[in-house]
């Protein structure tokens, strides 16, 4: 698997190279990995799917905004998509902690930088986006379900009208940020995801 800059699985310097004012490095790494998989013949161009969970969905969605033609489909789970508004809300439980990772947009330099990659703020009108399954949990205390709903609504409203892709919003009324839990729930979730990828 690939380790993007900003990931916690490597050295502290590697993590810092994809945080705060370096967050775009993570997105560019995500795109580069997709290009590599196609160029090296691991996947055909019309089969590449992006996948992200929580803040990982931020990377996937930002990459899709930058290079929508690169991805055939995407699955985004409990996605962190409205980065600016979320980080500007002190009443949300993870805002202070997320300031350490993404920066504090109450300061102008961070506001301008975050606005460059925040998925909700960078949807391009008239563009054909890949088919996407976006899942949100109504009881999620970490990432509000409204982030996924807003993003899906904006893409549906502004994307290319002649495009054949579909953008599906799926909401879970029972589980929280980590889903319903349990082996059978995980199997159902995986089956739903793979069925979507096979169908599109």
Q: Which of 29, 82, 140, 172 is catalytic?
A: 140
- Residues 107-163 pLDDT 10s: 999 999 999 999 999 999 999 999 999 998 887 778 888 899 999 999 999 987 788
Domain boundaries, the chain: 1-43, 48-82+118-199
pLDDT in tens, 23-68: 999 999 999 999 999 999 999 999 999 999 998 999 999 999 999 9
Q: Answer yes or no: 140 catalytic.
A: yes
pLDDT of 177 over the 70 cut: no
The answer to whether 54 is a known catalytic residue is yes
Catalytic residue, from 104, 165, 177, 193: name it: 177
Query: Model confidence over 13-30: pLDDT tens digits?
Result: 988 999 999 999 999 999
pLDDT over 60 at 75, yes or no: yes
Residues in the chain: 200
Query: At the top level of CATH, which class does the domain 48-82+118-199 belong to?
Result: alpha beta
Among candidate residues 190, 82, 76, 175, the one with its CA nearest the CA of residue 135: 76
Q: Which of 10, 15, 54, 104 is catalytic?
A: 54
pTM: 0.92
């Amino acid at each position: 698997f690939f380790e993007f800059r900003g990931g916690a699985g490597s050295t502290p310097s590697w993590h810092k190279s994809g945080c705060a004012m370096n967050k775009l490095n993570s997105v560019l790494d995500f795109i580069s990995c997709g290009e590599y998989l196609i160029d090296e013949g691991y996947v055909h161009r019309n089969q590449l799917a992006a996948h992200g969970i929580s803040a990982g969905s931020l990377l996937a969605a930002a990459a899709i905004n930058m290079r929508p033609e690169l991805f055939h489909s995407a699955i985004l789970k409990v996605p962190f998509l409205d980065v600016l508004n979320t980080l500007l809300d002190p009443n949300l439980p993870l805002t202070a902690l997320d300031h350490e990772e993404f920066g504090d947009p109450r300061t102008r330099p961070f506001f301008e930088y975050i606005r460059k990659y925040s998925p909700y703020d960078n949807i391009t009108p008239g563009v054909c986006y890949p088919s996407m399954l976006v899942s949100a949990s109504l009881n999620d205390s970490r990432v509000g379900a409204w982030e996924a709903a807003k993003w899906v609504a904006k893409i549906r409203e502004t994307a290319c009208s002649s495009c054949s892709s579909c953008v599906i919003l799926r909401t879970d009324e029972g589980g929280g940020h980590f889903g319903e839990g349990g082996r059978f729930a995980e199997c159902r979730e995986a089956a739903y995801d793979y069925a979507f990828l096979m169908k599109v």
